[in-house]
Structure 1
Amino acid sequence: MFVKSIVSALALTLGMAGVATAQQAAAPTRIQQFQAWGAYSYKSGASTVCYVLSVPTAKQPASVDHGDNFFIVSQRPGQNISYEPQAMMGYTVKENSKINVVIDNKTFVMFTKDKAGWVENAAQEPALVAAMKTGHSMTVNAVSRKGTGTSYSYSLSGISAALKQIESCK
């Protein structure tokens, strides 16, 4: 089940990264698991993409089908992208809505497109990653296309070690 979810996440990541076809990228390789966070890499053309990924520990409301949800921080040296956080939802989010990432009562706002969200103000990306490294709890709140408010709890255990593992991604 977890491997299927990782393959789904890779396919969505490739789509969001603007890769023309999934054939240009090799399947992801799990580098190492660090508690709740896994470190992965894959080849995309001539460059390597590295990322850390986790799945929610709790989903609300319990009465709806959430699909596969992930939180990813990617490193794409070939594209000059370093530690880009991304929320990947298992459903299409409401158009023009925001995703709020709350870490220890500090909120980071993400803009949305289809099934994903990225930090609205790119200058806040390092602050979000730093908060993830030092934080105790992370909650991701979104609204589905149908108008359902959703909330996901993520463990931050292992995030620092996982990010350190992809630090030297080349």
Structure 2
Amino acid sequence: MFVRRIATALAIVLAGYGTAAAQAPTRIEQFKAWGAYSYKSNGGTVCYVLSVPTAKEPPAVDHGDIFFIVSQRPGQNISYEPQAMMGYKLKDGSKVNVTIDSKNFVMFTKDKAAWVENAAEEPALVAAMKGGSSMTVKATSARGTPTSYTYSLSGISAALSKIETCK
């Protein structure tokens, strides 16, 4: 099941970046809960780390495939961009809240994805991920259902280190 989720995630990532000329992603290495991946797109390399939640709330709802990704696209001057990807459409105008320890981060939503609202806070979110043990992501579906996901942060530092020199 994990392999199917990762394959789905890779397809979603490629589609999300408009990568018609992209090659299939390659898994670089798995670091506990986080995997490091790369693919070629328009002559450049995109690297990212990805994980799936360890818990989903509410349990009786079909959440689809849920992922949290941190990508690095050196050719576009993008370094460590966090993104939450849901298996359902998010409520228009809603926010996604990410909590690590006592630190909170707000993400804006579009369709099935969310990004840090204030891009200047991206490094702080990544630093919190590296220093934390678990992360909670709360969202609201287009149907108005509140959802919550728990991610293990075990392996995130090693996975991010692996893609640090992405070229």
- Decide: shared fold, TM above 0.5: yes
How large is the Cα RMSD of the aligned pairs? 1.0
Match of 1:110 in 2: 107
Alignment gaps of 5+ in structure 1: none
- What are the equivalent positions in structure 2 for 1:121-140 lying under 5 Å apart? 121-140=118-137
Q: How many percent of aligned residue pairs carry the same amino acid? A: 74
Q: Could you tell me how far 1:63 is from its partner in structure 2?
A: 0.6
Between the two proteins, the alignment pairs up a number of residues equal to 167
Distance 1:72 1:118 in 2: 10
Q: Could you tell me how far 1:9 is from its partner in structure 2?
A: 1.6
Distance 2:55 2:163 in 1: 26
- What are the equivalent positions in structure 2 for 1:1-170 lying under 5 Å apart? 1-19=1-19, 21=20, 24-170=21-167
| 2:162 aligned counterpart, secondary structure | helix
| 2:125 aligned counterpart, secondary structure | helix
Distance 2:4 2:60 in 1: 23
Q: Could you tell me how far 1:10 is from its partner in structure 2?
A: 2.2
Alignment gaps of 5+ in structure 2: none
User: TM-score of the superposition, structure 1-length normalised?
Assistant: 0.95
User: TM-score of the superposition, structure 2-length normalised?
Assistant: 0.97
| 8 A contact 1:7–1:28 mirrored in 2 | no
| 2:60 aligned counterpart, secondary structure | coil
Distance 2:65 2:57 in 1: 13
Cα-to-partner distance string for 1:87-130 (whole Å, 9 max, x where unaligned): 00010000000000000021100000000000000000000000
| 8 A contact 1:74–1:84 mirrored in 2 | yes
Letter in 2 for 1:11: A
Distance 1:7 1:115 in 2: 17
Distance 2:105 2:18 in 1: 24
| 8 A contact 1:89–1:116 mirrored in 2 | yes
